[in-house]
Every structure is written in C-alpha cells, then in structure tokens.
Amino acid sequence: MQGATTRLADGRALHYYFDEGTERPSFPRDRRTLPPPEPASELRYDPLSDEWVVVAEHRQVRTHMPPGDECPLCPSTEARATEVPAAEYDVVVFDNRFPSLSSAIPSGPVSEAEPMFPRRPGVGRCEVVCFTADHDASFADLTPRRVGTVLDAWTDRTADLSRLPDVEQVFVFENRGPEIGVTLNHPHGQIYGYPFVTPRTKRVLASARAHRERTGGNLFADILAAEQRARVRLIAQTPYWTAFVPAAARWPMEIHLYPNRQVPDLPALDVEERVDFRAVYLEVLRRLDAVFGVKMPYVSGWHQAPVRGEEDRALSWLRLELFSTRRAAERLKFLAGSESGMGVFVNDVAPEAAARALRETRIADAPPALHTQSAVGA
C-alpha cells in the first residue's frame, strides 16, 4: 500500500493513498487560515433505550450542498484552496472539519450533575474518505484498481483507529444521494470511531450468543449457508464472497455481502478476498443503479467486530450491508409512523422479487465469470 500523511492548516491529519503504479504527486501545504477544531460534542445517555446520543451543535453550520465549483472535496487550484491541498489525488482520508465525535475533546469522566441523564465528552473520530478527485463520478464508476486503493484506505484507517484507547468500534460507510441526506455531492464516504459499541452491534451479538447457546452454531455462518442453499435471494456468488437480499429485508432494495469465511474486520481479509471484492462489489453497485434505470440513493456500511472483547470478536463476522430507500423509479420509502415511532419496518417489496430484479438486470461491463456465478438456479 502506497500512502503519505500530512497536516491541514488547523492541525487535522490528511492521508493520501495511491493506486498501484501511480507516481506520488507533490504535497503542498494547506495555504488556508483556519481556526482550531472546536471541542463541541457531547454524549447524553437515554435511560429509556439504554443508549448514548451524540449532541453536536456545531454541525448546524457545516457546508451544505455547495455548487460544484465550490466543492470542498475537490483538489485545490491556484484560485481556490479546499480540504485537499494537492492539485490531484487518487484517494484521500482526512479528519472531518465538522465531526460528530472528535479527538480534540479531552476524555473525561461521566458527569452526573443530572443523575437521571448522565453526560460524557464526545470523544472519538470522524474521518472523510474521498474515493476520487472526479466530482461527477460515483463509486460504481471506479476501476477495480481504484476500488482496491479504497479498500486499502479503509483497512489502514480501521487498523489505526482500532489502536486508539477511546475507540471501541470502527464503522466504515458511504451515504450516496440527496434522498439519503448527503450534503456534499462529491463521491465520498466516512469512517466513525465510536467510544462505545453501537446499539445495532450489541443487539446482533446478543442474538449470535443466544443462537450459539441454542444450536452450538455461528449465527452468521448459518444465515450465509441458508441463503446459499435457498438461492432465490442470491445476487452474486464467487469463491470468496456471497451477495444476497436478506430474507427479512427491511428496505425495498437491501443487499448483504459476506466473505465466505469468518473474519472479524477489514484488516483480517487475505489477499485473495481483497482482490475478489473489487469485482463483486462493483457488480452489486452497478446492478443497483441499473434496476430502475436511475442512480440509486443508498447507505453502504461495513459491520466490523468491536475493537476489544475476545468473545465478541470470536462471534463476529465481517459483512457489508447496503440498502436503498428507492422502491420504484419515481418512488421512495419513507420511515413513517411504524418505522420511526416503533422500529417496526413495513417493506413494500418482497425480498425475493428484489433479488430477482437485481439478478436479471443487465449490466454490460460485468465480468463474465460473475454473470455465470450469479445465474442462480440456471
């Protein structure tokens, strides 16, 4: 992996990652004058849900949908300095200027000034990952080589953040499309280093422990095997990865991508799995865009094991979960009363129908081997 690290004008770290064979460009300094990052976040405990909520008032003034010629994620030019001082780049990762969680906040004890509602500093990390310097591209437009560079960056940052004493779980994700709530159109994702294990992960691991006690098996392995046997919801299957619509999908278009062997996190993937991921993930994204003939809004996130805890890490199975709010070419799924109020999802699209539509969608540049392996029931 080729990389280099510099600092922005306010002291935030900036990491450059280069495609294999790319010559390293020069690394000009950040010529902007920026105030130091504000330690403005805090965590507040919700006793009803037994969860921590992040309160980050400073994010109200973050950049929101600027025109293309004012994008802060594009390379810098002589006329305009951005978050990336270089005139060109392959992949960059840098500390978010408006983070929900920040290393600039000193760690401290839980405040019990209001005993019913404890508070603690919003310590953690929030990083931005730019997949390409091309403002008008998307992840699905990347070459396999560039996907490999992005995967290298995700892996490197996961390893680095996992070593921080205040980080308990690392979440790598991409939000795409204004329908999802994206505030910058440039193709990018984010990495959160949470100071706690997230509620979703706690619930899933509790289910995995109960399944092990009941059956002696691994929940994720058994789900993967069941989907591979059923085949009706498979999207793509290779020697190293399996993509499928889950049997109880909550979203109109929802795809889970599992490595075919158990690993806890991105750094644990081997060379063959990393190389194979490039093509299979591009196929999944391109099928998603093609199924309705419009660019699909989505959230795509890596579910990794907690950083600490041998039992939790031994139970966990790395997986990528991707979902879209689009249920038809001109219709979106909104989280209304049942979903938002009670957490009970109502899906308008049968998972088997979604899988069939994704599977039968034609994409001209999909690798022939994947077409063959994706032809479920052929």
Q: Which fold has domain 200-374?
A: HIT family, subunit A (3.30.428)
Q: pLDDT, tens digit, for every residue of 197-216? A: 999 999 999 999 999 999 99
Q: What is the mean pLDDT of the chain?
A: 92
Using the predicted structure, report yes or no on whether residue 167 has a pLDDT greater than 60.
yes
Q: Which CATH architecture has domain 2-195?
A: 2-Layer Sandwich (3.30)
Q: Using one digit for the tens of pLDDT, what is the confidence trace for 116-153?
A: 999 999 999 999 999 999 999 999 999 999 999 999 99
Asked if the domains at 2-195 and 200-374 fall in one CATH topology, the answer is yes
Q: How confident is the model at residue 157 (pLDDT cuts 50, 70, 90)?
A: very high
Q: Determine the Cα–Cα distance for residues 154 and 73; give it in Å rounded to an integer.
A: 18
E strands in the chain: 2-7, 13-18, 41-46, 51-56, 91-95, 119-121, 125-130, 169-176, 188-194, 234-237, 241-244, 253-259, 298-303, 319-324, 326-328, 331-332
Average pLDDT over residues 295-315: 96
Selection from 303, 1, 16 nearest residue 170 by Cα:
303
Q: What ranges do the domains of the chain cover?
A: 2-195, 200-374
For residue 129, list its beta bridge partners. Answer: 93, 189
Q: Is the pTM of this model over 0.95?
A: no
What's the pLDDT tens digit per position in 210-257?
999 999 999 999 999 999 999 999 999 999 999 999 999 999 999 999
CA 210 to chain centre: 27
- Give the pLDDT score at 64: 67
Structure tokens at 377: 């029931």
What is the set of active-site residues?
Answer: 188
C-alpha torsion sign, points 195, 199, 200, 201? positive
